[in-house]
Chain A
């Protein structure tokens, strides 16, 4: 019953918060309206969200977000420097990252994180969903880069969404 009425308990507060940010007003009225929308939207869009998402370790998730934000800053500076200084001498490379994560959400989050951070763009997911093809703007040591992606981004995502 509670499953039917509240299929995605996490989505409700998130949607309410997004509503208040959209309205740009933090009042009780908008909070109520936001909660109402946050309750109704998941029910009407249930077909698009077949699997339950559960966050196992909220603290790991927060730390992951902090790490990613910091890395976005660093990656931006690094890419800007590469573009300005010596675009002719870049060594772009394709790398294949073997995936340990299995769920849709974890894979998409990982792919998005890779695109936002260290000079890499995720290009293709293999049909068996076990490898991710990544294009790196400047990679002299591809194995080290793959190892960094796996330990820095994939491991925490696996902990939060799958373990």
Chain B
């Protein structure tokens, strides 16, 4: 029974990571493409990590260092996305959305 749950989690994780990468190809501008790696991929990696924690906790010792990976990912993914967006605004990349008034974006 547990194996089915784990298999489901791993497949779901792979599917979400794939959709996140698919976003890079399908979305129209740079700013939209940033959403893929910060969102869909987070859940994908989350699913894989939960599966790993459950699988390796079956022995006598619980395996919880996967929680740390999730934590670090939640801290770093938004920061890199923020820096990329900031750089894109600075370079005035074309955007589908109407660009904000740019007097304060230097």
Contact = CB atoms under 8 A, between A and B. Distances in A.
B68 A21 contact: yes
Contact of A90 (B27, B61, B78): B27
B22 interface: yes
B49 to A, nearest CB: 12
Contacts of A51: none
Interface in A113-158: 113-116, 119, 121-124, 126-127, 133, 135-137
A13 B47 CA distance: 27
A122 B22 contact: no
Contact of B77 (A76, A79, A115): A115
B43 interface: yes
Interface residues of B, number: 45
A24 interface: yes
Residue in A80, A87, A88, A96 whose Cβ sees the most chain B Cβ within 10 Å:
A80
B96 A92 contact: yes
Contacts, number: 127
The bracket for how many chain A residues form the interface is 35 or more
Given A80-B19, A116-B77, A123-B89, A92 B61 contact: no
Task: Name B's interface SS.
Answer: helix
Contacts of B39: 72, 75-76, 79-80, 116, 119
Contact of A79 (B28, B40, B67, B105): B40
B98 A22 contact: no
A112 interface: yes
A21 B82 CA distance: 28
A76 B64 contact: no
Q: Which 8 A-B pairs have the closest CB atoms?
A: A115-B78, A76-B43, A123-B85, A92-B97, A112-B78, A83-B23, A79-B39, A87-B26
Interface of B: 16, 19-20, 22-23, 26-29, 31-32, 34-36, 38-40, 42-43, 61-65, 67-68, 74-75, 77-79, 81-82, 85-86, 88-89, 95-100, 104-105
